[in-house]
Amino acid sequence: MLILGIESSCDETGVALYAVKANANTTSNATKGLLAHRLHSQIAMHAAYGGVVPELASRDHIRRLIPLIEEVLQEGKRSLSDLDAIAVTEGPGLGGALMVGNSVAAGLGFALDKPVIGIHHLEGHLLSPLLDAPDLPFPFIALLVSGGHTQLMAVEGVGRYRLLGETVDDAAGEAFDKTASLLGLPYPGGPSLANLADQGDPNAYKLPRPMLHSGDLDFSFSGLKTAVLTLKSRLNAPLQPLLPEEPRQASAFPVSESSPASTTPALISAPISAAISANIAASFQAAIVDVLVAKSLAALKQNGMHRLVVSGGVGANKSLREKLTLEAARQGAEVFYPPLALCTDNGAMIAFAAALRIQANPSILRSPRKDFSIRPRWNLETV
C-alpha cells in the first residue's frame, strides 16, 4: 500500500511517500517504508516580518505543493496511479494554509478515486518517534513541544490519547521564539537561541521555573519571557549597576562569580555584550528545560510508565534531549525522539500516522471522508 502524505498547516510544505508492505507490521519496518520526502520551509520568506504571515503562507503552499508531489513521486519511482491513499493534515493550524493541502488532497482523491484520510497534526508529531524506534510498544507518555503547543499526553494506542497537562499560556517554542527576538536573534528564534546558549553559562542568571511545584502537569512560559525582558533592561539600564552587595529582590539576578554582577557600572551601562546575551540565552534555556524535564518525569511516575517520546520542533533542542535522557535513565525510564530531520513539521509524519491508523483500523479505507473539511482548532483527544 502506498500513501502520499501532505502537510501544510503552518509555514512548511511537506510531502512524503510512504509504502506499507501487505500484512507487515508497520512499525517493524517503519523507516524503510519512507520512500521519499520533501520539505519546503517558508522561514526565509516570513523572517522579514518576524513571524508567520498567514496569507503569504497560504500562497506559498499553493506554489510549492504540486512540484513537491511530483518530486517525491519521481524519487520514489512511483506514479499517481500507484497511490492507494492520500493522507493530509486536516488540523489544527492556519485556516488558509490547511485549505491548500486539503484542496489538493481532495482533488487528487476525487480524480484518482482514492480515499483521503485527514490526520491531526499533533498525532503526526506524536507518532513520528516510532519511525526510528520500531520496537517501541504502547503505552507511553508523549511530550509535544512545538511552536503552538506544549502538551503531555498518555498514549495508550493509535488514536487513544489522554491529555495530562498543557501550557496555560505560551507554548515552549513560542517562548523560545519571543525570547530570541528580545535578544535580537532572527526568526524563528528557537534554533538560534539554542546555538547562542551553547556559548553561555546556564547558571549565570537565576530565572524562574514557572509552575515547577504547581502539583499538576501544566506549564506556563509567558512569565519566563517577561523575566528575561526585566533582566535585559536591568543589564541595559544606565547608572543602575548590578553590584554584588545590592539587595536581591528580583528573581532575575546574576548568581555566578563570572556573571555581570561583578562587572563595573561603566560596562553595564553599555548595550549588553554578546557574552551577556549568551549567558541570558543559556539561563533561559536551562529554565525551560528544567520545567519540561521535571513535568515529563512526573507524568511518567504518576502513570507508572517507563517510556517517554518527545516530538515537535523544540524536541530538536540538544540540551533538552541530553537532560531528559539522563534524568529519565535515573528513574529507570527511556526517552525516544524522532529523527532530527523529522522533528519539525513534515509530510512523512502525516503519511506514517495514516499508515498506523490504517493498520489499526483497515475499515477507514472503505469509509474515507467524503466531504472537504479542515479543522483549524481540533482537540487531539477527540480524534
By CB under 5 A, name the binding residues for Zn ion.
146, 345
* Rounded Cα gap, residues 187 and 47, in angstroms: 5
- Bridge partners (DSSP) of residue 167 are 219
From candidates 73, 152, 207, 314, binder to ligand KG4 by CB under 6 A: 314
Q: Does 96 help bind ligand KG4 (rule: CB under 6 A)?
A: no
Which does residue 192 touch among ligand KG4, Zn ion, none (CB within 5 to 8 A, set by kind)?
none
**CB of 38 within 8 A of CB of 72?**
yes
Span near ligand KG4 by CB under 6 A; candidates 34-42, 208-216, 239-247, 308-316 = 308-316
Q: How many CA atoms lie within 13 A of 354 on its CB side?
A: 33
Q: Does 313 help bind ligand KG4 (rule: CB under 6 A)?
A: yes
How many other CB atoms are there within 10 angstroms of residue 316's CB atom? 21
Span near ligand KG4 by CB under 6 A; candidates 25-33, 190-198, 275-283, 370-378 = 190-198
Which does residue 188 touch among Zn ion, ligand KG4, none (CB within 5 to 8 A, set by kind)?
ligand KG4
Q: Does 128 help bind ligand KG4 (rule: CB under 6 A)?
A: no
Q: How far is the CB of 314 from ligand KG4 (least distance, A)?
A: 4
2: cell is 502506498
H or E stretch including 116? strand 116-120
Span near ligand KG4 by CB under 6 A; candidates 183-191, 241-249, 334-342, 361-369 = 183-191
Q: How far is the CB of 272 from ligand KG4 (least distance, A)?
A: 21
Q: Which of 122/224 has CB closer to Zn ion?
A: 122
Distance of CA 83 to the CA centre of its chain: 29
Q: Which of 96/313 has CB closer to ligand KG4?
A: 313
Q: Which of 3/10 has CB closer to Zn ion?
A: 10
H or E stretch including 16? strand 12-19
- Bridge partners (DSSP) of residue 37 are 16
Number of residues binding to ligand KG4, judged by CB under 6 A: 19
DSSP 8-state assignment for residue 211: T
How many other CB atoms are there within 10 angstroms of residue 296's CB atom? 26
* Rounded Cα gap, residues 202 and 228, in angstroms: 13
CA distances for 87 relative to 76, 268, 365, angstroms? 17, 55, 11
Q: Does 188 help bind ligand KG4 (rule: CB under 6 A)?
A: yes
Q: Does 147 help bind ligand KG4 (rule: CB under 6 A)?
A: yes
Which does residue 194 touch among Zn ion, ligand KG4, none (CB within 5 to 8 A, set by kind)?
ligand KG4
Q: How far is the CB of 125 from ligand KG4 (least distance, A)?
A: 6
How many other CB atoms are there within 10 angstroms of residue 257's CB atom? 8
Nearest CA to 178 out of 193, 200, 199, 198 is that of 193
Task: Name the site residues for ligand KG4 (rule: CB under 6 A).
Answer: 10, 146-148, 173, 176-177, 188-191, 194, 312-314, 316-317, 344-345
